[in-house]
Each structure stands twice: as structure tokens, then as C-alpha cells.
Structure 1
Amino acid sequence: MTVELAGTAERTLPGDEFAALYAQAQRFYAHQMRLLDTHDTERWAETFTEDALLHPLSQPGPIRARAGLENYVRTGAAHQRRAGSRLDHWVGMLDVRPQPDGSLHTRCSALVHATPGQGGPKVLYVCVMQDVLVRSRGEWRIAHRRVTRDDLA
């Protein structure tokens, strides 16, 4: 599945219906980033579909399915604990594009910053996340995510 926002056939929705979908997407990302930042790996992985695909910045190839996602986050959390820093994510500039099949194509900016045990936060990455969100068991879940450095997006 390819995430491509430009040129996709968008589904036009009435303003109030779109506003409700947009609010759902915002809540989804706030919840998902909170799970990631608190190292709740299992619940974070559950925000993806069973067969999800993640293309992160830190790896040349994609991570497939939930078990790989959990391992990826668990490894990152262990690294942060050893380094004595806290990693946080901020998501903004969210663009939501409803698709004819009911999925949402989203694009947002993400700041990833570390706060060491001593001192102030330091921005590590400015990224663009492009996702395909689908409904699964009544919840929005990510079927595909591509994370790109902002200057390469």
C-alpha cells in the first residue's frame, strides 16, 4: 500500500461530518503519541492493523506487522533509559483527506525531542508522517505509515 496524498481521489463531506472526522484523527494522534512516549508498546502497536507496514526514519526497510512494531518501540525505549533521557513527540499541521473507500489519508508534521536528565529539551528530528488510517473493530488504526525527514518530504 502506498501513501500518496497528492492527486488522490478525495471524498467530499459536509462541513460538520468532516469536522467530526478531523477531530477523531486529532484524538487518535494525541493518544498514539502519548502511548509511544510512555513506552506502552503493546497498546501503541494495537493502534496499527495486524498487517500494518511502518517505514521509520531510523531503518532502511519497513517494519511489518504488530510484533515488529512492538520490538521496534521496546528497543528504542531501552536505548532511551540507558541514555537517561526522555523522548517526546509533538504532532501538528494535520491534513486529513477522506477517501471513497472510507479510509483517511493523513499527513502531519512531527517534532521528536529528547529531554536529558539534566538540561533542557533538544529537537532530534523534524519529520513528516504520512498515514493511511482504516476502521478496524470500531477504531481508527494505521494500515501504512511512512516517516520522512521534513527536508526530504
Structure 2
Amino acid sequence: MTRDLTLTARDEAATARIAAALAPHLRAGDVVLLDGALAAGKTFFVRALVAALGCTEQVTSPTYTIAHIYETGSLPVLHVDAYRLRGAQDFHHLGLEEQVESGLSLIEWGERLGDFFDAPLSIRLDFGAGEGTRRITLRAEAARWSPVLDALEGVA
């Protein structure tokens, strides 16, 4: 059963509110795949989400390092930029499976990894009609995410 929830964020503050509303529902072993055009707000969303989890570190894009790990008050966060990866095989060779299992994984350009992960939450950020507006579509195929999407309805 695939379920989509589309939210409209009229500015960065609204995008941050959506990320903050998602944060308390995430747990170790969860994988969130983020996609969208360049500058659509993937790293901004991750930054807001990691801050909502209690991390005080500066969250930056791991474009050149591929991965960063952040400690939060509740669980470690693996932040990956898969833009330069050619697919799931490249991700596997990074040797990050232990971090994926023990923490929260936030993966930008997640669609490049295909079906590598079981039951991820997919988030697509697209430019909206107005300046600074984003359309944020959350897609879930696993029942685990249904109550999370229920909780996020109307947030922004």
C-alpha cells in the first residue's frame, strides 16, 4: 500500500516546522530518502530535522565527503549525499550498514540507491508557485509510516 502526503511550505520556517514535526516519530533503523532538484531544500530539511532531534553541531552537505554522522539527544544520525554514488553497490562499499541499523539514516539523492533499503520514507522537495515556496511530498509503502503521515497532516 503506497501512501502519499503532500504539504506546502510557504517559506523556510514552514519547511523547518515540517521537519521538526517529523523528528519525534523517527527511530533507530529508519531510513529517509530525500530527493528533489538542486537547491530544492534537501540539506535545509536535514539541518532542521537534525536540530529538532537535539543536535547542536553545524549540519552541512556531505557532497564531497559522502557521509556525516551527527549525535543527537536521542539517536545517531547518518547523513549521506548519494549524488556521486552510481547506485546501491557504491553505497554498500562505503560500509555504513552498521550505522544504518543503529541510527537514523537521512539520504539525499536517495532515488539513486534504488531498492537498497527496506521500507524507507521518501520525501520529495519541489519548488512551489511562489518564491520560497516548497511542495513537500512524503511517500510511504510500509505500514510503519502510516501513523507518521497521519500525524503530519496539516503541518506547515
TM-score by length of 2: 0.28
More relative contact order in 1 or in 2 (CA 8 Å, sep 6+)? 2
When Rg is computed on C-alpha atoms for both structures, the one with the higher figure is 1
* Between structures 1 and 2, the one with greater strand share: 1
